[in-house]
């Protein structure tokens, strides 16, 4: 079972040992009474140790690269195996998701349907609801903290809001599933609207609450970074504080704010536990926030939790979904980083 | 000489109205900001209130004192633990309510107490073999439904068909109460046992230890690697393409969804390397990769805040770059690095999704004894319990969340304190 792992560890140790051997011999030789003075020898040894230490540091930094390579390779490999079973176009553009792999080959609907559009739509619906909550609340909170609140008040409010970011997502999921969802369902019952007990609304709302601090902290940083001279110029022209904010500061901080919103969106798309606990499993292609939808992350979890044979299209589909998720969040993050960096260069 | 110019104050009606409007807009805008902050803060308030009001009762447990007769007929003196203790407990309850005769009612009566009662009776008999044949009184937990009824979660004023406790059971319960047999004690089981199908027997110790082992592995891997990467990138790396690539890569890694790390762990650690499923070892490895960017970014910031003059002084006195680092820069940067590491660990403690991928989601009763034993962690335990149908598990879930949040708050407070204590302005 564990032999490949043991083998790899042994190989790494051996490789390290071989590399070391050369320097180790040099170190040992350095000690031998020879023609060099003691001082020369110490210097030599010191240089060798230093060089060795640098290699160790480089090796450690490469772990981050290896992680990315590992993620990409594992996702791509398994996805390729999946696409050997299910055509890529069926996966990317299919409108039906029901990943039931047959137990017997002669069974009806033997292969299952792997169209990811409904999952993607569900993810977008929940993300949209979350951003509709988090973007205005987070942005207004950021503006208030950086422009209106006193320093003392800000020093209290900011960490308090950041508590929201520190609460584990499973707690939000529990809150969404057991408090918020029944609350909405009851409101729906009273008003004669059918709100599913696993509605996109409940999951989206709670996710929105979760990402408020992502938006507010990042936006606050960029708003505070807008040079004071711009504000003073605007006040000098007779603008009120809110006019200055709306017409001078926000446009100046816009790239940074967009970056913050993109990062928050990527966070919402990749969020798992809230969706697993509060959104449903049924892959409905709908834009109705009161209906149950499912998301990419929920399906990855459902496909992989429990004992499964690893070669079925069902488990491999999870990796294809993971690849899509990784790609989308990567693109969003890169755009956000580029936008934010461009903006920073502008004022520094 | 400059003339003092006095501007005529324009007090036209339209201007005054416009000014009034603008000031109203100003107040409105300010109010929106205040509202946003209040919304955020009240969300925290509601969240904590919901969890605490639903969870504090986890820490108490309703118990009933019953007199059990350790009959010689039912216990083999040579092999005490094989005795029919279920019957002994049942007989004791039947003795309390002799008027109950129907088979159905009798079974209901026997279910007033938790299945733990017979184990407790057995343990007692094994420990005190000389008491066999005598009648003793022991305190056993009530069933989860009776416990919820006693705590007022299951309300008696609902119609019988809408609650999980029947009228008859309420009559029995009140009867026991009148006899002074019902008590509410501190729920020790919750802190000293593993998972169970019976809520009154379920505890968080297994999950807490699983979390501990997982975090241990995470720490042992991510702290040295993270610190070393931060040192290399900040102190030694030449400014070239490769370094830039590593930097971009780390920033991106910090924003990769956690579930993707779970997929990596499943494909690489489980399927390729063949490491055991559900083990804290693998969980810790996955979480280490996940927290690595946090630690590296914090570590670099800490190193950056050490002024270059200290390095220059050390180099000037003849220290080698590595000596400068280990004797001066690193000790000065360590508090900042520790703060980042604690925050990373807190994040890892609350993480659920990647651990679901590597099988730490199984129902595990045994308390893990090492990093390769099957285990689950606190957030996953919360997830599992929140899915259980029993009403009492909802309370247990909130209780477990309270414990988890307590750990997280402690860790964060520690990090903040550390930062405050060692923060140095150069």
Q: Among positive and negative, which fits the CA dihedral A31, A33, A34, A39?
A: positive
Q: Specify the DSSP element, H or E, that contains B38.
A: helix B13-55
Q: Is residue B253 less than 8 Å (CB to CB) from chain A? A: yes
Q: Among positive and negative, which fits the CA dihedral A188, A190, A191, A192?
A: positive
Q: Is residue B417 less than 8 Å (CB to CB) from chain A? A: no
Mutate to test the interface with B, among A146, A147, A168 (most CBs of B within 10 A): A168
Rounded CA Rg of chain A: 28
Give per-residue pLDDT as tens, B293-337: 999 999 999 999 999 999 999 999 988 888 899 999 999 999 889
Identify the CA nearest to B214 among candidates B285, B293, B294. B285
Q: Is residue A170 less than 8 Å (CB to CB) from chain B? A: yes
What are the distances in angstroms from CA B271 to CA A309, B47, B281? 11, 39, 15
Task: Please give, rounded to a whole number of angstroms, the shortest distance from the CA of B356 to a CA of chain A.
Answer: 6
Find where tokens 């029947």 sit: B166
Mean pLDDT of chain B: 88
Please indicate whether, in this complex, the C-beta atoms of B320 and A46 are within 8 angstroms of each other: yes
Q: Is residue A95 less than 8 Å (CB to CB) from chain B? A: no
Q: Which of A166, A174, A242 sits opposite B397 (nearest CB)?
A: A174
Identify the CA nearest to B287 among candidates B233, B220, B231. B220
Please indicate whether, in this complex, the C-beta atoms of A63 and B397 are within 8 angstroms of each other: no
Question: What pLDDT was estimated at residue A257?
Answer: 92
Helix spans in chain A (H): 3-31, 38-85, 88-93, 117-143, 151-166, 169-175, 181-191, 200-225, 228-236, 241-244, 250-270, 273-278, 296-304, 313-347
Residues of B in contact with A178 (CB under 8 A): 386, 394
Identify the CA nearest to B226 among candidates B264, B245, B253. B253
Domains of chain B: 57-187 (no CATH), 205-422 (1.10.3720.10)
Question: What pLDDT was estimated at residue A1?
Answer: 45
In the predicted model, what is the mean pLDDT of residues B52-68? 88
In degrees rounded to 5, what are phi and psi of residue A98?
A: -150, 90
Task: Pull the structure tokens for residue A135.
Answer: 């973007």
Q: Decide which of A341 and B41 is more confident.
A: B41
What are the distances in angstroms from CA B266 to CA A81, A97, B214, B220? 16, 23, 16, 21
Please indicate whether, in this complex, the C-beta atoms of A166 and B408 are within 8 angstroms of each other: yes
Q: Is residue A53 less than 8 Å (CB to CB) from chain B? A: yes
Q: What is the ipTM of this complex?
A: 0.88
Task: Pull the structure tokens for residue A23.
Answer: 């320097």
Give per-residue pLDDT as tens, A205-230: 999 999 999 999 989 988 988 899 99
Find where tokens 């009933």 sit: B64
Q: Which of B34, B43, B394 sits opposite A164 (nearest CB)?
A: B43
Give per-residue pLDDT as tens, A160-197: 888 898 899 999 999 999 999 999 988 888 888 888 88
Specify the 3-state DSSP secondary structure of B139: strand
% pLDDT > 90, chain B: 41
- Minimal Cα distance from A179: which residue of B? B50
Residues of A in contact with B41 (CB under 8 A): 157, 160-161
Q: What DSSP line would sit under A79-126, residue for residue?
A: HHHHHHHS-HHHHHH-S-EE----SSTTSTT-S-EE--HHHHHHHHHH
Specify the 3-state DSSP secondary structure of B124: helix
Task: Quote the Cα angle for A7-A12-A13, to 5°.
Answer: 95
Q: What DSSP line would sit under B281-318, residue for residue?
A: HHHHHHHHHHHHHHHHHHHHHHHHTS-HHHHHHHHHTT
Give B 103-162 residues with CB within 8 A of chain A: none
Question: What pLDDT was estimated at residue B135?
Answer: 85
Q: Which of A61, A67, A174 sits opposite B401 (nearest CB)?
A: A174
Mean pLDDT of chain A: 84
In the predicted model, what is the mean pLDDT of residues B2-6? 57
% pLDDT > 70, chain B: 97
Question: What pLDDT was estimated at residue A31?
Answer: 54
Confidence of residue A245 (pLDDT cuts 50, 70, 90): very high
Q: Which of B245, B271, B401 sits opposite A310 (nearest CB)?
A: B271
What are the distances in angstroms from CA A127 to CA A124, A133, A209, A301, B339? 5, 10, 12, 18, 32
Task: Please give, rounded to a whole number of angstroms, the shortest distance from the CA of A322 to a CA of chain B.
Answer: 6
A59 has pLDDT over 70 = yes
- Minimal Cα distance from B345: which residue of A? A166
Q: Which of A263, A300, A334 sits opposite B259 (nearest CB)?
A: A300
Question: What pLDDT was estimated at residue A5?
Answer: 65
In the predicted model, what is the mean pLDDT of residues B215-243? 92
Q: Is residue A150 less than 8 Å (CB to CB) from chain B? A: no
Q: Is A17 exposed, middle or buried (0-12, 13-18, 19+ CB in 10 A)?
A: exposed
Question: For residues B245 and B240, what is the distance between their CA atoms, to the nearest angstrom?
Answer: 9
Give per-residue pLDDT as tens, B128-141: 888 888 888 888 88
Please indicate whether, in this complex, the C-beta atoms of B353 and A169 are within 8 angstroms of each other: yes
Identify the CA nearest to B342 among candidates B232, B209, B170, B223. B223
**Between A296-304 and A313-347, two packed helices, what is the crossing angle to 10 degrees?**
140
Q: How far is CA B277 from the centre of its chain?
A: 22
Q: Which of B22, B39, B386 sits opposite A177 (nearest CB)?
A: B386
Q: Decide which of A344 and A170 is more confident.
A: A170
In degrees rounded to 5, what are phi and psi of residue B88?
A: -60, -45
Please indicate whether, in this complex, the C-beta atoms of A140 and B22 are within 8 angstroms of each other: no
- The topology (CATH level 3) of A113-347 is MetI-like fold (1.10.3720)
Q: List own/partner pairs for B105-111 with CB under 8 A and 24 or more apart.
A: B105/B168, B108/B166, B108/B168, B108/B169, B109/B172, B111/B143
Question: For residues A160 and A142, what is the distance between their CA atoms, to the nearest angstrom?
Answer: 13
DSSP state of B76: B
Question: For residues B407 and B418, what is the distance between their CA atoms, to the nearest angstrom?
Answer: 16
Check if the beta carbon of residue B299 is closer than 8 Å to that of residue B231.
yes
Considering chain A, tell me which residue range(s) the CATH 1.10.3720.10 domain(s) occupy: 113-347
Task: Please give, rounded to a whole number of angstroms, the shortest distance from the CA of A340 to a CA of chain B.
Answer: 13
B155 has pLDDT over 90 = no
Q: Decide which of A298 and B102 is more confident.
A: A298
Find where tokens 């900001």 sit: B33
Give A 230-289 residues with CB within 8 A of chain B: 240-243, 245-246, 263, 266-267, 269-273, 276-277
Q: Is residue B220 less than 8 Å (CB to CB) from chain A? A: no
Residues in contact with B80: Cβ distance below 8 Å, sequence separation at least 6, in sequence order = B122, B125, B126, B129, B132
Identify the CA nearest to A323 among candidates A114, A149, A73. A73
Please indicate whether, in this complex, the C-beta atoms of B33 and A74 are within 8 angstroms of each other: no
**Between B280-304 and B330-349, two packed helices, what is the crossing angle to 10 degrees?**
140
Specify the 3-state DSSP secondary structure of B68: strand
Q: Specify the DSSP element, H or E, that contains B108.
A: helix B103-110
Residues in contact with B198: Cβ distance below 8 Å, sequence separation at least 6, in sequence order = B114, B115, B116, B144
Q: Is residue B307 less than 8 Å (CB to CB) from chain A? A: no
Q: Which of B257, B273, B404 sits opposite A329 (nearest CB)?
A: B257
Confidence of residue A239 (pLDDT cuts 50, 70, 90): very high
- Rounded (10°) CA dihedral A82, A83, A88, A92: 10
Please indicate whether, in this complex, the C-beta atoms of B41 and A143 are within 8 angstroms of each other: no
Residues of A in contact with B292 (CB under 8 A): 63-64, 67
Please indicate whether, in this complex, the C-beta atoms of A64 and B293 are within 8 angstroms of each other: yes
């Amino acid at each position: 079972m564990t032999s490949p792992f043991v083998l790899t560890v042994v190989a790494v140790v051996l490789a390290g040992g071989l590399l070391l051997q050369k320097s180790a011999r040099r170190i040992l030789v350095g000690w031998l009474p020879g023609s060099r003075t003691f001082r020369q020898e110490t210097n030599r040894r010191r240089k060798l140790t230093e060089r060795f230490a640098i290699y160790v540091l480089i090796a450690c930094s490469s772990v981050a690269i290896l992680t990315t390579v590992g993620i990409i390779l594992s996702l791509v490999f398994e996805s390729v195996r999946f696409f050997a079973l299910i055509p890529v176009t069926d996966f990317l553009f299919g409108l039906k998701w029901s990943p039931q792999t047959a137990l017997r080959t002669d069974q009806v609907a033997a292969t299952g349907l792997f169209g990811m559009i409904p999952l993607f739509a569900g993810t977008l619906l929940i993300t949209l609801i979350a951003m509709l909550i988090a973007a205005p609340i987070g942005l207004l909170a950021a503006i208030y903290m950086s422009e209106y609140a006193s320093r003392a008040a800000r020093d209290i409010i900011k960490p308090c809001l950041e508590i929201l970011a520190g609460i584990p997502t499973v707690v939000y999921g529990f809150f969404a599933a057991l408090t918020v969802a029944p609350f909405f369902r009851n409101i729906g019952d009273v008003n004669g609207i059918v709100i599913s007990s696993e509605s996109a609304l409940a999951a989206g709302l709670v996710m929105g609450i979760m990402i408020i601090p992502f938006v507010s902290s990042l936006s606050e940083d960029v708003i505070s970074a807008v040079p004071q001279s711009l504000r003073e110029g605007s006040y000098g022209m007779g603008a009120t504080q809110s006019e200055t904010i709306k017409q001078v500061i926000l446009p100046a901080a816009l790239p940074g704010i967009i970056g913050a919103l993109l990062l928050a969106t990527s966070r919402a798309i990749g969020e798992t536990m809230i969706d697993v606990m509060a959104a449903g499993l049924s892959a409905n292609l709908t834009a109705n926030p009161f209906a149950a939808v499912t998301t990419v992350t929920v399906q990855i979890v459902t496909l992989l939790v429990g004992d499964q044979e690893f070669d079925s299209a069902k488990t491999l589909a999870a990796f294809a979904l993971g690849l899509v998720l990784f790609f989308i969040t990567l693109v969003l993050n890169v755009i956000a980083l580029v936008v934010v960096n461009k903006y920073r260069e502008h004022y520094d | 000489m400059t003339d003092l110019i006095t501007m005529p104050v324009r007090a036209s009606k339209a201007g005054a109205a416009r000014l009034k409007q603008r000031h109203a807009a100003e107040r409105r805008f300010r109010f929106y900001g205040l509202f946003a902050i209040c919304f955020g803060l009240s969300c925290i308030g509601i969240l904590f209130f919901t969890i605490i009001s639903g969870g504090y009762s986890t820490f108490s447990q309703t118990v009933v004192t019953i007199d059990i007769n350790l009959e010689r007929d039912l216990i083999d003196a040579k092999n005490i633990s094989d005795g029919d203790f279920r019957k002994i407990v049942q007989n004791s309850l039947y003795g309390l309510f002799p008027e109950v005769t129907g088979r159905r009612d009798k079974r209901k009566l026997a279910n007033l107490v938790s299945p733990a009662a017979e184990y407790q009776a057995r343990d007692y008999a094994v420990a005190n073999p000389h008491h066999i044949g005598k009648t003793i009184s022991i305190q056993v937990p009530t069933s989860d439904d009776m416990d919820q009824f006693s705590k007022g979660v299951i309300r008696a004023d609902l119609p019988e068909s809408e609650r999980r406790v029947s009228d008859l059971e309420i009559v029995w319960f009140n009867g026991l109460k009148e006899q002074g047999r019902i008590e509410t004690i501190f729920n020790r089981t919750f802190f000293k046992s593993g998972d169970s199908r019976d809520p009154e027997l379920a505890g968080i110790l297994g999950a807490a230890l699983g979390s501990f082992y997982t975090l241990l592995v995470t720490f042992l891997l991510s702290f040295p690697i993270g610190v070393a990467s931060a040192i290399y990138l900040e102190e030694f790396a030449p400014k070239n393409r490769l370094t830039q690539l590593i930097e971009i890569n780390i920033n991106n890694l910090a924003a990769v969804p956690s579930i993707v790390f779970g997929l990596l762990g499943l494909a690489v650690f489980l399927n390729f390397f063949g490491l055991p499923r559900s083990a804290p070892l693998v969980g810790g490895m996955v979480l280490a990769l996940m927290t690595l960017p946090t630690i590296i970014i914090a570590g670099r910031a800490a190193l950056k805040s050490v002024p270059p003059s200290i390095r220059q002084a050390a180099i000037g006195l003849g220290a080698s770059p590595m000596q400068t680092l280990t004797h001066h820069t690193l000790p000065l940067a360590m508090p900042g690095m520790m703060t980042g590491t604690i925050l990373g660990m807190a994040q890892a403690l609350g993480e659920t999704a990647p651990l679901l991928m590597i099988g730490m989601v199984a129902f595990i009763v045994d308390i893990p004894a090492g990093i390769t034993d099957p285990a689950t962690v606190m957030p996953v335990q919360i997830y599992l319990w929140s899915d259980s149908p029993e009403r009492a598990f909802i309370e247990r879930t909130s209780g477990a969340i309270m414990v988890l949040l307590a750990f997280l708050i402690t860790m964060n407070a520690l990090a903040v304190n550390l930062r405050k204590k060692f923060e140095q302005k150069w």
